[in-house]
Amino acid sequence: MDRGSREATDQLRLVGRELRDARAAANLSQLAVARAAGISHPVVSRIERATEANVSLRRLGELASVLGMRLSVRLYPVGNPLRDAPQLALLERLHARLHSDLGWRTEVILTMQGDLRAWDASISGFDWIAYVDAETRIRDVQALQRRTMLKRRDTGTDRVILLIADTRANRAVLRALGSPLLADAIDGRSILDALAAGRDTGGSGVILL
């Protein structure tokens, strides 16, 4: 069972317990709740025990309403989303530019306990590591800057490469920004030249590729 399935099962158990506790506090039987919600008694029992297969949010909301409660569902970012083909291709374009002496890793998870965030890649030399995040399309500049700043802080690195797909839309966003995506960015072309020669990047920067 993957992490998403485990977390969904845990949430169903939690909701089931809360429904059961609310029903008991209201001194209602499962049969009474089932009749009020228009479902069968066994279904209520299975929902409370988190054994009902494929229970819908609508059904849970109906049961919650009968018991004077409101169902609330939220999503929280805890890790990196699945990479799509264009992002993988963008990373591979950078990988192809590297000198053969440099190390290359993808999906580099932050070392903080329980932290599921990851850099898209890392490039390593003899005594340095540069971390890479790839963006095929810049949608929210402030969110990108904040995400990069926090990952950089929590990694404790002074070498970050923002790899941006060289498209008309992305160039327009960068021109309109009026300031570097990274406050201490050095020229992206010099970083590419250094990587091609197998040298230290010397700092952070933005590469359009």
CATH number at residue 49: 1.10.260.40
Residue 195 lies inside a defined structural domain of this protein? yes
Shared-domain flag, residues 62 and 29: yes
Q: Which residue has the higher pLDDT, 44 or 79?
A: 44
Q: How high is the mean pLDDT of the chain?
A: 89
The tally of domains found in the chain comes to 2
Which residue range(s) make up the domain with 153? Answer: 85-208
Shared-domain flag, residues 109 and 19: no
Shared-domain flag, residues 137 and 51: no
Shared-domain flag, residues 198 and 130: yes
Q: How confident is the model at residue 103 (pLDDT cuts 50, 70, 90)?
A: very high
Is the distance from CB of 33 to CB of 63 less than 8 angstroms? yes
Shared-domain flag, residues 30 and 116: no
CATH number at residue 136: 3.40.1350
pTM for the whole structure:
0.64
Task: State the amino acid at position 172 in one-letter form.
Answer: A
Q: How confident is the model at residue 77 (pLDDT cuts 50, 70, 90)?
A: low
Shared-domain flag, residues 160 and 187: yes
Is the distance from CB of 51 to CB of 98 less than 8 angstroms? no
Residue 94 to residues 27, 36, 136, 193, Cα–Cα distance (Å) = 64, 61, 13, 12
Residue 76 lies inside a defined structural domain of this protein? no
> What are the percentages of helix, strand and coil residues in the chain, rounded to 5?
45, 15, 40
Shared-domain flag, residues 41 and 102: no
Shared-domain flag, residues 148 and 187: yes
